[in-house]
Structure formats: C-alpha cells, structure tokens
Amino acid sequence: MTTSTFDTPAVDKEAVASGVLETVASRMQLTETQIKSAFILSSWVTIEEMIEREFAGAYRGYFPKCSMNLWAEAVIAEVFDQLAIKLGDPRRALRSGAWTPPATSPGGRCDG
C-alpha cells in the first residue's frame, strides 16, 4: 500500500517498513519480533502507522521524545531515525539516557 499527501510523493509503506525493520534489528541486535513488540506498546502500533502519521500525514513537525533507558522507547527512537533517513527527512528522535539491551522482559511506552 502506498500513501501520499498533497505535497509529498507516494511512499510504499510496507517496503519502507520492512527495510527499516531489518536495519533496526541489525543495528540494535534485536529480532524483528522484539521490535514489533515495542511498537505494540506505542501509540503507533506498527511501523507503517508511524510512516502514515509522522512522515506522510499532518504531524511532519513532530519529534518523538524517548528515554533510552526504556527498552521500547529506545526501539521507537531508532525506528523513527531510520525512517527519517530512508525518507530523506532531517528530523531525528530526541533521546535522553543511554540504550541498554533488554534483559528478559522489555518494557516502557512511547506515546508519540
């Protein structure tokens, strides 16, 4: 499925999300399932929804504020940044704290 607004080109959300999912999994040494689980905890629920709302929708001035000591928020920040890079957007997530890999039970919430 592609998405576009009056002043942005069409974006193949599924293809972009798939590529970003793979990149983030590699960069953070997580599984794609772990990344998808982090998104379920967010207000976006999926990477495609983040593309729709934050990159092709009305919220293109938005910067997520994420705490890197919360596992899910660290994932959200990395996904947001990789989407911005892939889509040629200069925005990046605003981070606080330091990323540490999840132990056994990832947690945290990023409400966008």
Kindly write down the DSSP assignment for every residue of 67-86, as one continuous string: ETTSHHHHHHHHHHHHHHHH
Sign of the dihedral through C-alpha 107, 69, 80, 25: negative
Buried/exposed code over 29-48 (b: 16+ C-beta within 10 A; e: otherwise): ebeeebbbbbbebbebeebb
pTM of the model: 0.80
What's the pLDDT tens digit per position in 54-106?
998 777 778 889 999 898 999 999 999 999 999 999 999 999 988 777 664 44
In this prediction, residues 22-46 reach a mean pLDDT of 93
Distance of alpha carbon 40 from alpha carbon 49, whole angstroms = 11
Strands 94-96 and 65-67: parallel
